[in-house]
Amino acid sequence: MSADEKIIVTDEVVIYPDDLEENFIRSSGPGGQNVNKVATAVQLRFDARNAPGLPERVRERTIALAGQRATKDGVVVIEAARFRTQEQNRADARARLAELVTKAAEPPPKPRRKTKPTKGSVERRLKSKAGRSVVKKLRGKVDSE
């Protein structure tokens, strides 16, 4: 995945390269002494609120699913420092963004249909309650009659 490629999530959801901003920062992960010299970690910023490739429903769900990774302005920030190279971290950050947007693009679940308990299950529940009641009454003090 190159830096100038658009990311196609679904037929109607596309992430354009203009909506992404990448900053390379020093990583605290693997790399030995190289960590102190080379900025290999990627901070990927995606302006979800103003992205033209996202429908309104997907836009709101993306920001909601991002949670603390989203700023108040609707910018999703993903940091990737798992690998030793910029290219691998860049690909990892883009893949994680695509995964987030894919999850946001899923259709909402069907509303739950309320159901009544069956007559038999109600009877069984009441019978077991009565049985427990008898057990608890027998645990009490014995009358001396």
Residue 52 lies in a domain: yes
pLDDT score, position 128: 97
Q: For residue 119, what pLDDT is reported?
A: 96
* CATH number where 42 lies: 3.30.160.20
Q: Which domain holds residue 37?
A: 7-105
Low pLDDT (below 70) residues in the chain: 1-4, 10-11, 29-36, 145
CA distances in angstroms from 137 to 35, 124, 127, listed in the order given: 71, 20, 16
Q: What is the pLDDT of residue 32?
A: 63
Residue 59 lies in a domain: yes
Prediction pTM value: 0.65
**SS3 (DSSP) at 103:** helix
State the amino acid at position 62 in one-letter form.
Answer: T
